[in-house]
Amino acid sequence: MTDSGSNEQKRKLKFEGSEYYMDSLPDPVKQLVAGINAADLQTKMYQDTLKLIAVGKSKLLEELKKGLEDIDPIDAN
């Protein structure tokens, strides 16, 4: 039998050109890393939301253009 723990890779933190084993970091540092990860997830979620809004706005603009095709604009002179 093999030791399953020896096959598992330890989680590492790569930061500013250095690597650290997550298990060896003090709890306050682990909490900072967790906070940064949460911020990254939230940022991605909001970026995806903004993309969806942009697609919806583009569709609305297309519909507006179609709706105004047969309507004469006000003379700007």
In a domain? residue 54 = yes
**What band does 5 get if pLDDT is binned at 50, 70 and 90?**
low
In a domain? residue 36 = yes
In a domain? residue 8 = no
* Domain encompassing residue 50: 26-69
Question: Which residues are CB-contacts of 30 (< 8 A; sequence separation ≥ 6)?
Answer: 22
Asked if 21 and 9 touch (Cβ cutoff 8 Å), the reply is no
pLDDT tens for each residue of 10-68: 999 999 999 999 999 999 999 999 999 999 999 999 999 999 999 999 999 999 999 99
Number of domains in the chain: 1
User: pTM for this one?
Assistant: 0.65
**What band does 1 get if pLDDT is binned at 50, 70 and 90?**
very low
